[in-house]
């Protein structure tokens, strides 16, 4: 409605401007014709009463005084030319006839002579003002041409421009009032029409899969809106069914993920326990003087891994995610070195510039971090590789303890670097790829970080940074 009114106002204004211009053009054209007719009748009267012979050469004498009288009576400049275009007499007070006076252009003379009425109007724009000049033949009583009458006429459009300006102002006022009415009417109509749509829009914004959604109880005046309400209510029913199915699926997925994590966490200590038992069987010597100490060390190692399995099982039975942090004051260097005792590889080396770095953290989770990283480092080295090396370093850096696990295995390919901590991602033939993701969560729970540097074909260095938590 508003757009139609704006278009109508623009069209009306455009048509009005064109109409005023056409009227002004017709007015000036008709006025010039009236002036020319009246002047020619006056000229004919002068010619009929003159005592001079009616020849082209006598025209300056015939109109010597009369031309100024004619110009004052008709309020118009009058010029009289010979038939070949030479100026003979002019009503201009300051004009003097000499050889320099510009003649009528030849093309105008030809147009005057070739026209039926022996008349031509030349139109020119000078400094933005339209100038008309009429040229017509002066004839005697026997219709013999004596000369050419020229009437310069400057169009004054001041009156029409003022009228046009007033009209456009009134038109603007009328259409402005109509626009105000249209805005008000459009607002109330749109409010009435879209009231039901507003209700539906609000309900749609409130609709969520995680909550019980209410149906729209509304009887609209429009058949289309009623169909929309019916479709929304049907969608709410289907959404509720989908929410129930999704919730069930999420619970099943959560159980599956928990089962995978528990299986992975239990599998981690089982492998070193098996290796420890096999090593004990292989190296057992009843006559060894340090037999009791070795049995004690093996027992402590097995007990630690059994405690880890027990904590995982307890957490699973209590529907928890993973074992909660049980922080205790411990020597990080000693715990890391002890965690490495379960591995029998000769190329596994432990380094630490300090014998003691005291912090407060969960012993079981720290062992889990070391066990997982070292196990991955060992598995990254091909079995047929000659020089194998896994170096575990512990050092202090300001208020953090850094644990570095360096290997000279095959490294990580470039396209796998960004996915190394993703759950379920693994480059090994066995395992579920949960280890690095789990220890990353453990480290981040301690406000720590885990990073790595790798070069494919040369090895990898994992760096764990944990804040030193004082007791």
325-471 has which fold?
Answer: Heat Shock Protein 90 (3.30.565)
pLDDT band at 328 (very low <50, low <70, confident <90, very high): confident
Looking at the predicted structure, is the pLDDT value of residue 457 above 60? yes
The continuous run of DSSP H or E covering 454 comes out as strand 449-455
Domain residue ranges in the chain: 2-162, 325-471
The DSSP letter of residue 90 is: E
Gyration radius of the chain's alpha carbons:
55
Q: What percent of the chain has pLDDT over 70?
A: 85
What pLDDT does 396 receive?
A: 93
Residue 255 reports pLDDT greater than 80:
no
Q: Are residues 401 and 468 in contact, defined by beta-carbon separation less than 8 angstroms? A: yes
Give the pLDDT score at 159: 66
The mean pLDDT of 351-357, rounded to a whole number, is: 93
Q: How are the residues of the chain apportioned to helix, strand and coil, as percentages rounded to the nearest 5?
A: 55, 15, 30
Range list of H helices, 50-157: 59-62, 66-74, 106-114
CA 148 to CA 361: how far, in whole Å?
A: 120
pLDDT at 430: 42
**Residue 356 confidence (pLDDT):** 92
- C-alpha to C-alpha distances, 422 to 109, 411, 418, 427, 439, nearest whole angstrom: 98, 17, 8, 12, 12
What is the pLDDT at residue 298?
77
pLDDT at 350: 95
Contact 382, 410 (CB under 8 A): yes
Q: Report how far apart the first and last C-alpha atoms of the chain are (Å, whole number).
A: 77
Q: What is the DSSP letter of 122?
A: E
Res. 431: pLDDT tops 50: no
Residue with more model confidence, 307 or 447: 447
pLDDT of 391 above 90: yes
d(CA 259, CA 190): 58
Instruction: Give the pLDDT of residue 220.
Output: 64
Residue 56: both structure tokens together: 């082209």
Strand partners, 360: 329
Q: Give residues with Cβ within 8 angstroms of 353, minimum separation 6.
A: 395
| Domain 2-162 in this protein, CATH class | alpha beta
Report helix angle 332-339 to 363-379, nearest 10.
50
Phi, psi of 453 (to 5 degrees): -125, 135
């Amino acid at each position: 409605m508003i757009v139609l009114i704006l278009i109508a106002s623009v069209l009306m204004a455009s048509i009005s401007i064109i109409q005023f211009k056409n009227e002004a053009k017709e007015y000036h054209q008709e006025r010039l014709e009236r002036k020319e007719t009246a002047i020619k009748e006056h000229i004919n009267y002068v010619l009929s009463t003159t005592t001079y012979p009616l020849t082209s050469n006598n025209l300056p004498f015939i109109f010597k005084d009369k031309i100024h009288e004619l110009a004052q009576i008709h309020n118009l400049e009058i010029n009289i030319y010979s038939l070949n275009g030479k100026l003979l007499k002019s009503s201009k007070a300051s004009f003097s006839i000499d050889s320099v006076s510009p003649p009528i252009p030849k093309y105008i003379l030809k147009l005057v002579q070739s026209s039926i009425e022996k008349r031509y109007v030349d139109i020119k724009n000078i400094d933005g003002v339209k100038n008309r000049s009429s040229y017509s033949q002066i004839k005697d009583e026997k219709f013999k041409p004596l000369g050419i009458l020229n009437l310069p006429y400057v169009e004054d459009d001041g009156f029409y421009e003022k009228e046009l300006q007033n009209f456009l102002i009134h038109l603007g006022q009328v259409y402005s009032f109509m626009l105000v009415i249209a805005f008000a009417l459009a607002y109330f109509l749109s409010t009435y029409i879209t009231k039901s749509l507003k209700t539906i829009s609000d309900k749609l914004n409130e609709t969520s899969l995680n909550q019980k959604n209410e149906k729209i109880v509304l009887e609209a005046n429009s058949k289309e809106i009623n169909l929309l309400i019916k479709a929304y209510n049907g969608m709410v029913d289907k959404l509720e069914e989908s929410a129930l199915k999704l919730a069930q699926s999420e619970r099943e997925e959560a159980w599956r993920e928990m089962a995978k994590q528990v299986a992975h966490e239990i599998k981690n200590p089982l492998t070193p326990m098996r290796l420890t038992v096999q090593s004990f069987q292989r190296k057992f010597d009843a006559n060894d003087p340090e037999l009791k100490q070795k049995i004690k060390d093996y027992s402590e190692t097995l007990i630690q891994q059994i405690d880890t399995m027990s904590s995982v099982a307890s957490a699973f039975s209590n529907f928890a995610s993973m074992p909660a942090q049980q922080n205790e004051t411990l020597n990080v260097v000693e715990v890391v070195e002890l965690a490495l005792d379960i591995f029998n590889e000769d190329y596994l080396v432990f380094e630490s510039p300090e014998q003691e770095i005291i912090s407060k953290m969960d012993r079981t989770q720290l062992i889990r971090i070391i066990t997982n990283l070292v196990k991955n480092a060992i598995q990254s080295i091909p079995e047929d590789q000659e020089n194998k090396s896994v170096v575990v370093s512990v050092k202090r850096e300001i208020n953090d303890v850094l644990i570095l696990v360096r290997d000279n295995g095959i490294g990580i390919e470039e396209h796998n670097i960004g996915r190394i901590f993703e759950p379920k991602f693994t480059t090994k033939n066995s395992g579920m790829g949960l280890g690095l993701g789990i220890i990353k969560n453990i480290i981040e729970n301690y406000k720590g970080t885990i990073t790595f540097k790798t070069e494919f074909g040369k090895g990898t260095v994992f760096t764990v940074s944990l804040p030193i938590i004082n007791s």
